[in-house]
Structure 1
C-alpha cells in the first residue's frame, strides 16, 4: 500500500501536466491587431480604427517570397461610447475577437486627446492582454489617417513600421519615446504632466496637400491626461537634454560666424544631472549640468583644425546651441505650466521633507523657480584630416 500512494500521486501530477490549454485561441476565431487609432467621433462616442493582420496575405509571402496582390493588413473602424464598447462592436462587425497582445502602437487624435484620455488609459492599464511596452503617440491629424498612411516600403505592416520609426528616431535624438509603462510612471502623484511622441502626415511643400507619408514631429504635452500643447523640434531636443534621454544626435553650427557655412557635430555620449539648491529651508533654484563627448563629423574650408582656438570656439558655439534648446524647452514648459522635466520628482528624491511642504503649491513654485543651466561640450575627435578641401568650382 505504501508503494501505491506515491505512484498514484505521480500519475495525478502527470495528468495535470498533460491537460490542454484552457484559454487557447484559434487563428480562425480571432483578429490579430498590429495597431489601434483612437479618435473623437462625436460628443459621446469614440471612433476606433483597428489594424488587422491578414493571415492569408502573410502566408502567401512566407511561402512564395512574394507579396500577395492585397495589402497584408486591413483597417476596420468601430464606434462606441468607450474603448471597450467600440471593441465589442468590432467583434459584432467582424465575427472575431480582436487580439491585442501584438499591438505595436496606439495613436490618439488631437481632438480626443484635448478632451482627455483618462478613461482610455484606465482600460489599457487594467486589461491583461495589452502589453505595457506598446508605444503611445498623439497626432494633429486623425489617428485613423496615420494607420492608413503609407511610409517607406520596408515594413509591410504600417504599425510595425511606425514602431521602428520611433525607436530609430529616439536613438538619434530626434523624438521622444513613450510606451504605456513610461506614461503611467510619468503621471504619478508627484507629477501630473507628461509628454507623448507626436506623429503627423507630411504635407507637400508645393501644393500643401497631405501626402501618404508620415514623420515623427513635435511632442504632445499632457496635463491631467489632457493634451494642452506641443513642443516643436527644438524644444523636444531641449527636453531630451534635460531629462537625460539623449543617446546620440547631430548638431549643425554656423562657423565661422562671418561665413555662410556650417560644421556638423555628432554627440556620442551625454550626461545630465539635475539637483535642487535649498537655502534656509527654501528652494532657491534648480541646477542642470550637462556634459557630452562629441566628434567633429563635418568641417568646412574656412576652418584650420590645427589651431586650438578653432576647436575651442566650435565647442563654445555648440554649448550655446544646446543651452538655447534647453532654455526654449523650459520657457514653453512654464508657458504651459507643465513640469514634464520631472523637477518635482527630483525635489522629492533629494529633499523629501521640503517636498512635503511645497507639493500642494508646486505648480506656482515651478513657474517662479530660477533654472541654472551649465553646459560642457567636449570635442574629442576631429577625424583623419585637419583641413577641409576647398571647392575650386568647375
Structure 2
C-alpha cells in the first residue's frame, strides 16, 4: 500500500513538472515584425545648440524579400532625429518609426569631421557600450568634408544595403590597398581612455553629384551619379581629430602600426629611368621596442615584409638574383620613406599613432609613470630608428617582362 502511495506521489510530481514546462516563456518576447533593424548610424552637429543630429539607416525588409519581383522601392530607409544624447534621439524616433530600433545588426558608425575635431566622440559611444543589445565590434568612419547623414543615406548599385557596402569596402581596401584601416568602436574607446596610443580612423567622402545621394534613379545606370569613397586616415591627439593623412603617408601609418594586410608599391625600375615596377606586399610584421637613453625615449621599429612582383614595365632580368636583391632594397627604402612621412606628421601634431607610449610603458613602467601625464611633451623629442626589409618571394607566373624579351 505504501509503495502504491509513493508511486502515485512520484507520478503527480512528474505531471506537475511537465505542466510547468508548458507555461514557460520569455517575459520580454517580441515578434520580429516589431523591430526595425538598424544597419548604420551617422552623427552630425545639430543647428540646435548642445544637440546632435542622429541618422539611422534601417532595412526595408519587404523590399529585400520582393527584390526578385522587381520592386522599385529602396532597400533602405533613413530617419534623422536631434537630441542632446543618442538615447534621447532613439526614444524620440518612436514619433517617426513604428518599430523599435534594434542595433544588434549594426554594421558601421559614421561621425562627422566637425564632431571629431571638437573631441566629442566619446559622448556618443557611452550608450552603445551600455546597451545589452549593442555591440562594439563594428568599424567607425569619419565623414570627410561632408555630413554623416549623407554618407548613411547613400544608395549603392552593387549592394542593396549600403551599410554592408561600406563595411565590405573598408575590409577589402585594408586587405589589398593598404591606405585605410578598420578601427572598431572598442578600439576607439580603449585608446582614447589610454595615454600611450592615439587613435586613427579611416575617412569616407562623397564623390560625384551629392544632390543625387539617396535617390533611387541615381544608381539605375552604369555609372552612379553620387557615391561614397574611402579617403585617407584621420589622426587624433587624445580625443581630437588634428590631421588627415593621405596616399603614402596613410600607408606609412599602416606599416608602422602593424596594420598592413596587403599593399601595392610602385618603384622605379632603376635610378636612371622612369619605368615602374609594382611589388605586391602580402605580409608585413612590425615590432616596436623602446628604451630610455639620457632621459630621452629611443624607439626601434623593425618592419619585415614579404611580397611578389605584380607588374613590370621595364627591361630588367628578373631571373638574376642580384636584380631581385636591388629591387628588394629599393622597395625597403620606399617603405621606410613612407613610415618616416607618417612619423613626421604624427610628431608635428603630437599624435602617437604608433603607440610608442605603450612600448615605453612595457619597457620601463617606472619611467612611464613619471612621463605619462606629459607624454605629449616627450613624444616629439623621441629618437626613432626605422628598419624596413622586404623579401620578394616570387615573380608570379612570368619571369622576365615583355620588354626584356623584345630586347
Partner Cα distance (1:361, 1:248) in 2: 36
> How many pairs are equivalent?
383
Shift in alpha-carbon separation, 1:49–1:286, aligned structure 2, 3 A? same
- Per the alignment, residue 127 of structure 1 pairs with 131
Normalization by structure 2: what TM-score?
0.87
**Greater shift in the superposed pair: 297-306 or 237-246:** 297-306
Taking the TM superposition and a 5 Å limit, the aligned residue runs for 1:138-217 are: 138-140=142-144, 141-151=146-156, 153-172=157-176, 173-191=178-196, 193-203=198-208, 211-217=225-231
- Per the alignment, residue 87 of structure 1 pairs with 90
Shift in alpha-carbon separation, 1:381–1:89, aligned structure 2, 3 A? same
Partner Cα distance (2:107, 2:327) in 1: 41
- 1:343 maps to 2:356: yes
Partner Cα distance (1:314, 1:371) in 2: 25
Instruction: Report the Cα offset of residue 11 of structure 1.
Output: 4.6
- 1:238 maps to 2:256: no
Q: Please give the secondary structure, in 2, of the residue aligned with 1:263.
A: strand
- 1:319 maps to 2:332: yes
- Per the alignment, residue 72 of structure 1 pairs with 75
Q: Please give the secondary structure, in 2, of the residue aligned with 1:94.
A: coil
- Per the alignment, residue 376 of structure 1 pairs with 389
**Which one has the largest radius of gyration?**
2
Shift in alpha-carbon separation, 1:391–1:285, aligned structure 2, 3 A? closer
Partner Cα distance (2:238, 2:195) in 1: 12
- Per the alignment, residue 102 of structure 1 pairs with 105
Partner Cα distance (1:352, 1:308) in 2: 46
Normalization by structure 1: what TM-score?
0.90
Cα deviation 1:18-57 (Å, max 9, x = unaligned):
6222222223322111111111112322111111111211
Native 8 Å contact 2:296 2:381 kept in 1: no
Shift in alpha-carbon separation, 1:217–1:11, aligned structure 2, 3 A? farther
Taking the TM superposition and a 5 Å limit, the aligned residue runs for 1:290-309 are: 290-309=303-322
Shift in alpha-carbon separation, 1:279–1:18, aligned structure 2, 3 A? farther
Shift in alpha-carbon separation, 1:175–1:67, aligned structure 2, 3 A? farther
Partner Cα distance (1:352, 1:376) in 2: 30
- Per the alignment, residue 207 of structure 1 pairs with none
Instruction: Report the Cα offset of residue 96 of structure 1.
Output: 2.5
- 1:49 maps to 2:52: no
Partner Cα distance (1:117, 1:324) in 2: 32
Native 8 Å contact 2:315 2:404 kept in 1: no
Query: Which consecutive unaligned segments of at least 5 residues does structure 1 have?
Result: 205-209
Shift in alpha-carbon separation, 1:125–1:10, aligned structure 2, 3 A? farther
Within the candidate set 253, 266, 276, 1:252 is matched to 266
